[in-house]
Amino acid sequence: MSKVCSICGKGPRTGNRIVRRGLEKKKGGIGLHTTGINRRRFLPNLQRIRVREGGAVRTRWVCTACIKAGRVVKA
């Protein structure tokens, strides 16, 4: 399965998963310390829906933002 929206082209984004230990200063601790940083992926919320395109009905992977915005016409 392609992880890209067929309408807007939204795809996976990359980011970090940050692990912190300790108690925050405003809660009486000495502050948070970063103990690990791992790469991760943020995947778009894709739904497989039947879309009407040029009089024909096709199945496409579409993100929920496009469905909510009304950029697609459901079959």
Least confidently predicted of 1-10, 26-35, 65-74: 1-10
Count the alpha carbons within 13 Å of 13 in the hemisphere toward its beta carbon. 8
Three-state secondary structure readout of 14-58: EEEEEEEECCCHHHCCCCCEEEEEEEEEECCCEEEEEEEECCEEE
Enter the DSSP assignment of 63.
E
Tokens 């939204």 found at = 10
pLDDT > 90? residue 15 = yes
pLDDT band at 34 (very low <50, low <70, confident <90, very high): very high
pLDDT band at 2 (very low <50, low <70, confident <90, very high): confident
Cβ–Cβ < 8 Å for 12, 42: yes
Q: How far is Cα 6 from Cα 67, in angstroms, rounded to an integer?
A: 12
